[in-house]
Amino acid sequence: MPELPEVETVRAGLSPVMEGQLIQRAEVNRPDLRWPFPDRMADRLTGATVRGLRRRSKYILADLDSDETLLIHLGMSGRMLISGHTVGKFHHPHPAPAKHDHVVFHMGQGARITFNDARRFGAMDLMPTAEADAHWLMRDLGPEPLSNQFNETYLVGRLKGRNTPIKSALLDQRIVAGLGNIYVCEVLHRAGIHPARKAGRISAARIAGLVPLVRKVLQEAIAAGGSSLRDYRQADGELGYFQHGFAVYDREGAPCTRDGCPGVIDRIVQSGRSSFFCPGCQR
Ligand SMILES: [Zn+2]
């Protein structure tokens, strides 16, 4: 499932083919994905120019000159493919239409953007730009982890007295937006905090120390995504998936990467999701 850095990589990859560009024709090939598409979506997108592309949590937001904003959610398996335009060193010819090509944007400059989603957990919606923050998917979100609103004082205050495991607290989108399972596992490993520790029982100094680690882990992954836009892995025109080394995620049974730690990565299930951690150095 794409997390914040993957979504940010998709946004960056779409930027040259969308920002400032006309959607000459939008093609919508089914009535819904996870939820029904908005009324007359193809008509409302056709002829609009994209003013800018931004990201909120794991949503890509395209602000249009029609004063509407298009929300794109990749879901579990949504893929964005660009053809007819150079991505990094590669120029991708238009592929033949494929199964699961649910939405296609034919851009004014000849590029084609295809949203393909085999499992259909993705979504698109349209809303007045002025009301985007109040959209039901976004209104309850906490601050962006890379913004100034997410800071030491804020996080210490939000976690004070909480009886939930620190892992669940960091996954709570009302506390901080866009953090997912993979990067929370990585952050807690770097912080040396056990994922099952009660958030309210961890010292304020250690909670404060999570803030720069969250930023660092996300920024490193975003940088890896940025370099993937320039290299061979994007040779098919697909955006957003890149090779990235994790210290604990999906490494059950492997040795801990921390210098001098003899631990072996373990896995527990919390709220139905796997937590990977090192019992040797995470307390
Ligand atoms: Zn360790």
Q: What is the pLDDT of residues 10-40, one digit of tens each?
A: 999 899 999 999 999 999 999 999 999 999 9
Record the pTM. Answer: 0.92
The annotation places the binding site for DNA at: 100, 119, 162
Tell me the CA–centroid distance for residue 265 and ligand 1, in Å. Answer: 7
Average pLDDT (64-69) is: 98
Average pLDDT (254-268) is: 97
The band of 118, judged by pLDDT with boundaries at 50, 70 and 90, is confident
pLDDT above 80 for 232: no
Give the catalytic positions in this structure. 2-3, 58, 273
The annotation places the binding site at: 100, 119, 162
Tell me the CA–centroid distance for residue 36 and ligand 1, in Å. Answer: 46
Domain boundaries, the chain: 4-134, 152-277
Q: What is the pLDDT of residue 244?
A: 73
Poorest-pLDDT segment among 25-29, 108-112, 153-157, 200-204 = 108-112
CATH of domain 4-134: 3.20.190.10
Tell me the CA–centroid distance for residue 267 and ligand 1, in Å. Answer: 13
Higher pLDDT, 53 or 242: 53
User: Is the domain covering 152-277 a CATH 1.10.8.50 domain?
Assistant: yes
Quote the mean pLDDT of the chain.
Answer: 92
Tell me the CA–centroid distance for residue 275 and ligand 1, in Å. Answer: 14
The two three-digit tokens of residue 20, written as one number: 């400032």
Q: What is the pLDDT of residue 145?
A: 98
